[in-house]
Amino acid sequence: MTLRVATRGSTLARWQAERVATRLGAEYELVVVSTTGDERAETPIHAMGGTGVFVKQVQEAVLDGRADIAVHSAKDLPAVTDVGLTLAAIPERADARDALVGTALGEIPTGGVIGTGSVRRRAQLASLRPDLEFGPLRGNIATRIEKASGFDAIVVALAALERLGLTDHVAEVLDPRVMLPQVGQGALAVECRADDDPMAKALAGIDDPLRRREVEAERSFLETLGGGCDLPCGALAHADGREVTIDVLLASLDGRVVLRTAARGSEPRTTGVEAGRALLDEHGGRGLVEAL
């Protein structure tokens, strides 16, 4: 039986879908889907509502029976899984950090222009370098690299460059203390129908328990904030066999206010919630969320 894998059509998305299918050891065909985020390539992500713009139509292909599984970048998923689906596997996670293409941060001249479509990246860079200007940047990885010459630097996920063999374009990898990544960044996520027990069992065989714990903590943090990629927030968790630690961030759009805290615990979801509540209730984050 041929496994039908729903995916976006970009080179990176296809790579991810094929990677999952290969790990399952299955014959497969790709069900390529165009998403709202793909079709409105000139519109800033936050202006489209942010959450789910790269996954909704891919998920619908599974829900309506055109595909058996959907493969996503975990960072594109809303914090809460849609009814009718289950997040059946987090099979692997590459380096979660962000990278600059073009020029290293300390070498960008005063008043330099950074290309990014992410409010999270923009807020953190503006906090570090209030002199910087920002320009919109959308498109797949190849398109972004082509556009890099129009800026002093652009910001992209290091994992994407690694997976496509494009790390020679990296000018600097940004330490999480400088740039906290998006929730789920670098991780693959695989969904199937909630009532498809055989498929869920097959996907459980490629699930990485530690990476799942990390992503669960980060997603619980995001759910606690009540937002998605339209919020200037970030999180990065690290799991070992017993505990999960998570560093989290929430900022104002202009980067003048950046709130950070951390949490540690044995249960990933509880730890993520604790981190989110600490930002909201102990560090002034609730006022930021209401303003946003």
Neighbours of 113 (CB within 10 A): 15
Encoded amino acid at 229, one letter: C
Exposure letters 235-265 (e unless 16+ CB within 10 A, then b)? bbbebeeeebbbbbbbbbbebebbbebebeb
Contact predicate 153/171, CB 8 Å: yes
**Which position among 68, 76, 98, 230 bears the catalytic label?**
76
Element (H, E) at 15: helix 11-24
Between CA 208 and CA 246 the distance in angstroms is 18
Confirm whether 76 is a catalytic residue.
yes
Which ranges in 119-251 belong to alpha helices (H)? 119-128, 141-147, 158-163, 197-204, 209-225
- The structure tokens listed for 11 are 């080179």
Between CA 148 and CA 79 the distance in angstroms is 31
Q: Are strands 113-115 and 133-135 parallel, antiparallel or unpaired?
A: parallel
Which ranges in the chain belong to alpha helices (H)? 11-24, 36-39, 56-63, 119-128, 141-147, 158-163, 197-204, 209-225, 268-282, 285-291
List residues with catalytic annotation: 76
